Structure 1
C-alpha cells in the first residue's frame, strides 16, 4: 500500500463522462446551456467558414470581430461560450462580467496564454483548445524558416527587388550533416524532427516530459538542455509559454550555445528574451534568427531590436496560416465547444485533466462510481465540518493508475453535498481548497483485468447520521462496477450489494425473522415499490444493515415508522442518484 498525501494544494479538476452511451449526471453538470433553447456562442475573431457553419446547427452565433475590452465584457454576459484566437484577451474582468453565464472558452489554436486560466477555473468555466489541427502547418512553417534562413532566401529576394544581383553576399550554409536541436518535443516538435531527418540533419531534443522511447522511434536523441545548447547548429523552439519557459532563451543560455548557431521560433514570442537575442546577434554568438512569433503581437515597430535586422527573418505569426489548417482548427474547436456545452467529455480541455482517450475509455465505467461514493459518504456525515478524506483504489496497476479524473469526481460528489455554491468538475478543486479539505489517495493491490477492481472513500469524522457506516473513527464506503453499473459493496464493516441508482433506504437492525416483510409493508402502505434489497450481517441474530432500492423516496413519517419497528435501530433515506 502506498499513500499519496495531496493536502490542501491538491490540483483537482476534471470533466464528466458518459456511461452506456448516455451522458451522465456528472458530465451534464460540467457545462450546459439553459435547457429548451440554443446556447449563444460569441466568436470574437475570424473563424473558418466550415466551423461557423457547424456551429450554427446547434447554437446562436454572434460573430463580432475587433471588440474593445468593454464591448467584449458586455457581450459575454449574454453568451454561453466564447471562441477566440490569439488576439482576444480573456481576462479575469471578462469572466467576472459574464456573471456565471459563460460556460466554456474555446481557443482556436494551441496556446492559451491570452486566457486567464485561474480566473476561468474560479468561475467554473471550462477552457478548451485545438491542439492538433495546426500541428502539421506549424511544423511545415518551422522547416520553411529553417531552409529560408540557411539559404538567405528572404534577404536575396529583397536584394533582387532592389535591382541587385549579389550572389556573394548571400552564400548560405548546407543543412546536410548539421545538428538541429529541438527544444520542446511535443506534437509540433516531433513533426519538425521527422522533416529535419528527411533533410539529412542529425536531430537532438530537450523536453523533460517527452518519452525517450517515442524519440528513439523516429531517430531523435533526448538529452539535457545544456548538452543540446552545446551541440546544436540550429535551434527550433516548440515549447508553450509558461512561467518556467518565459525568456528561457536569455543572455545566460545564448552564452552556452555553439558560436554561430541559428534560432527558429514558431512557438511563443515570450520564450525568447528579444533584447538578449539582439545582443547575441551583435556579438556573433548567434549568426541568424527566423521568428514567426513575438513578445508583443504585433511588435512595436519603432526601435524594435529584431524586426529590421538583415540577419533576422520575420513572419507575422503564420505558423497555422494555411487554408487547410484554418479550416481544421475551426472544426476542431467548434467540436470541442459544442461537446462541452452538451456536457460531453472533451479531450481538449485545458483546465481539467487531459486524460488520454484510451485511459478515459477504461475509466468511464468508474466515474459514476467515484461521484456516487462521494455523495453517499457526505450524505452520511452529521452536522459539522470535516477536513480529512481518503480515496482508496484497488487496482492491478499500482501506482501507474492515473487517478486524477476519479479523484475529482469523488470530490465533486462530496462538495455538492456540503456547499451551496455551484460545483462542477472545473472548480471542485478550488472549492475543496477553500473549505480546507485534505485529500489523501491510497493505492491497494487489486485483481482482475479491469483498470479497477474497486474503490473506497473514508471521511474522518465520528459525527454521522447513520452510525452503521462508521468504521474505526471514519465514515467508510467501498464500491465496484458490475456490468457498467456502480454498486456499493461495503458500508462501514458490513458487506452489501447496493446499486448506486435511484433512491436508497438504509436500515440498521438486529437480524431476526420478519423484519424484511415489516419494512416492505410500511413502504407498500405508501405505494412504494422495492426494486432490490441487500442485507449484510455480522452473524445470525446479530447486527445487520439492510439496504433497499426503492422506486421513489418515502415520506419522513414512513421513515420514522420504519425506525420504530421492533429490532430496527436506525433508518435513513440514504441517497438519491439521478441517472
Structure 2
C-alpha cells in the first residue's frame, strides 16, 4: 500500500474535458445481520448546486440566494482584502475582541478572519453552533487556531502562506546581518552620546555555516539569500524534499548535525507539540560555543529562560528575535533587555506589500471556501494538487453518491466496523493522490446516518468516532496511465442484510460506478451489471428471475401515474436471482412502494432519491 501524497489545492473541472477512458468507482460492503424482507429507504441525496457542480466539492457552500454570508474580521486587514470580501459578503470588522465578546458574536458569522492575536479556541467553535464554516488565518502559522476542534465541527481552516514569504525572509536576513555587526546596540550607543567603535566589533558572514531549521517557503528563501552572502548553508527539515534543497545548493542534515556544526542558526519551523521549546538547555548545550540564533518563526519553539542562561554563560553569543512566547513580552523581560539580544515586535510580515498581499490571499481563500471551493491553502481538509483535481473532479460527486447509495442498500450501518478502499490504476502509486475521493466516499457513507453536520473536513473524524476503521490500498491495473483511476472498491464490514447476502456468495455488496459524458452512473451491483444514471429517483429490486416482472412493476407505477425513464434488468444465472433498476421521474407514494414490495417474486427493494 502506497503512502498518500501531500495534498494541495482544488480547482474547478468540466465534464467535456474528461479523459478518453472513463475511470470507475466501486464500493464493496460486507454484511452480517438479517433485516426486514422489504426495505424502503428514502434518504435524499442533497441537490448539487451550480457552484458545487463546478468545484465538485459539495457541503462547503453555505451561501444563500437570499442573503449574503457574514464574515467577521477580528484583526486589521488590508483594504484590498476587505474590498474583495465586501463584494461577496457582509463584513463585520470588530477588533480587539475579548474571548467572551468573540464567542458572543461568532454564532452570527459564517467565516472568521484572524491574524496571530486572536485565539480561536474550542469554546469559539462550540459557541458558533455549527454556523461557522471557515476560519481564515491572515498569515502562515495557525497555532492560534484549535485545528482539532475546527475539524470536529466541520469548519475549514485556511491560511495565507505565500504573500508574506519574501517579507519574512528579508526580515530574517536583516536580523542576521544586524546581529552579526551589532547594528542595534551601536545605534543605541551613539544616540546616547557615545562613540564605542572597539566595543561593537562584529563577525563576518562569509564562509560561516548557517543552519536553517525548517526548510519551507520562508526557510528556503532565507537559504537563497544567505548563499548570496557567501555563507555555507545546511538545513534540517524531516519533510523537505532533498531535490529542492539540492537545487538551491543546500544540504539536508539531521537535527543533531545542524545544531552542533553551525555558526548561525535561523529558525523557521512551525509551533507544534513536537517543536514546543525544542531549543532548551539540552539543545543549547549541544551547540557550537558562541553560536548566534535568529528567530522569525514562533517564539514558543525556544525555551526563553534557557536561552537567557545560554547567553549569560556565552554558550550562545547573540540572539536576534522577532517573535516571543508571549506577545508582547513583559517590559522587564530579561531576554528582551539582554545586551546580546536584538529584538523587533513581530515585524516579519510587516511590509506594505506583504500586508496587502496577505489580505488579498486570505480574502480569496475565504470567499472561495464560502462558494464551495476548497482553497489551495486549506490546512485541515484533504487537498490535492490542481492538476490532479482537474482529472478527478468529475468523480468527486460520483464518489459521494456511491457512498450514500451503498449505505442505503444495506439499510442501516449501526454495525459497520470498517471501510476498506482499494484503488486500481495503471499509474505509479506514488503518483496517485485520491484523498479527495476517499473523503467524499466516507462523507457519503457517514452523513446519512449521522446527526452531525458532516463534510469532507470532518468525515474521517466522524467515521472514527463511530468506531469505523478506514484503510486504503493501491493495486496495479494493466490499463492506460492516462486514466488516473480505473476503479475504486470500498468494502464495508456490516451487520447482516438479505440484499447483500442474496447477491453475493461472500455476503458482500459491490457497487461500481463510472462517469459517462460527465454524468455519474451505477454500473455494477454485486455480480450484476447495470447501467443506471445516478440522478433523479431510483428503485433497485432484488428478485427472482422470472417472466412478467418488468410488466408487473411497470403496471404498479403506471397506476399511480409514475413515469419510468429507464429500466435495466441483469442476472447471473437464468431463473435464479436478478437485479432490476428502475429510474422514475416522480417520487412514488408510500402505498405504491408498498405494492412493489408485496410482489411475491421481489425479495427486497430500495427506493433512492438521488
The answer to whether the Cα contact below 8 Å between 2:9 and 2:377 also exists between their aligned partners in 1 is no
2:51 aligns with: 23
CA distance in 2, matches of 1:3, 1:542: 41
Please, which of 181, 204, 225 is the counterpart of residue 255 of structure 2? 225
Deviations 1:290-334 (A, max 9, x none): 1110000000121x2310122111000001000011011111111
The answer to whether the Cα contact below 8 Å between 1:534 and 1:547 also exists between their aligned partners in 2 is yes
1:168 aligns with: 198
2:439 aligns with: 408
Please, which of 530, 536, 542 is the counterpart of residue 502 of structure 1? 536
Residue-pair matches, total: 568
2:402 aligns with: 373
Please, which of 483, 490, 497 is the counterpart of residue 464 of structure 1? 497
For residues 156 and 354 of structure 1, do their structure 2 counterparts lie closer, same or farther at Cα, with a shift above 3 Å needed?
farther
Q: Equivalences for 1:159-198 in 2 at 5 Å?
A: 159-198=189-228
The answer to whether the Cα contact below 8 Å between 1:559 and 1:572 also exists between their aligned partners in 2 is no
CA distance in 1, matches of 2:485, 2:331: 58
What is the deviation of 1:485? 2.8
Pairing 1:475–2:509 present = yes
Q: Equivalences for 1:9-48 in 2 at 5 Å?
A: 20=14, 22-24=50-52, 27-48=57-78
What is the deviation of 1:147? 1.2
Which secondary structure state, in structure 1, belongs to the residue aligned with residue 399 of structure 2? helix
For residues 486 and 546 of structure 1, do their structure 2 counterparts lie closer, same or farther at Cα, with a shift above 3 Å needed?
same
CA distance in 1, matches of 2:387, 2:281: 43
For residues 363 and 41 of structure 1, do their structure 2 counterparts lie closer, same or farther at Cα, with a shift above 3 Å needed?
same
Pairing 1:319–2:344 present = no
Which TM-score applies when normalising by structure 2? 0.87
Which secondary structure state, in structure 2, belongs to the residue aligned with residue 306 of structure 1? helix
Q: Equivalences for 1:435-446 in 2 at 5 Å?
A: 435-446=466-477
The answer to whether the Cα contact below 8 Å between 1:456 and 1:479 also exists between their aligned partners in 2 is no
CA distance in 2, matches of 1:536, 1:370: 23
CA distance in 2, matches of 1:398, 1:533: 39
Deviations 1:457-482 (A, max 9, x none): 22223533634555513332222333
2:609 aligns with: 576
Please, which of 419, 431, 434 is the counterpart of residue 389 of structure 1? 419
Higher relative contact order (Cα pairs below 8 Å, separated by 6+ residues): 2
CA distance in 2, matches of 1:15, 1:487: 27
The answer to whether the Cα contact below 8 Å between 2:8 and 2:384 also exists between their aligned partners in 1 is no
Deviations 1:374-400 (A, max 9, x none): 101110123543222222211223542
My pick for the range that moved more, 236-245 or 251-260, is 251-260
1:272 aligns with: 302
The answer to whether the Cα contact below 8 Å between 2:72 and 2:109 also exists between their aligned partners in 1 is yes
Please, which of 573, 579, 586 is the counterpart of residue 552 of structure 1? 586
CA distance in 2, matches of 1:17, 1:464: 39
Which consecutive residues of structure 1, in runs of 5 or more, have no partner in the other structure? 7-11
2:488 aligns with: 455
2:234 aligns with: 204
What is the deviation of 1:542? 4.1
Which secondary structure state, in structure 2, belongs to the residue aligned with residue 82 of structure 1? strand
Which consecutive residues of structure 2, in runs of 5 or more, have no partner in the other structure? 16-49
Which secondary structure state, in structure 2, belongs to the residue aligned with residue 572 of structure 1? strand
CA RMSD of aligned residues (A): 2.5
2:283 aligns with: 253
For residues 565 and 13 of structure 1, do their structure 2 counterparts lie closer, same or farther at Cα, with a shift above 3 Å needed?
farther
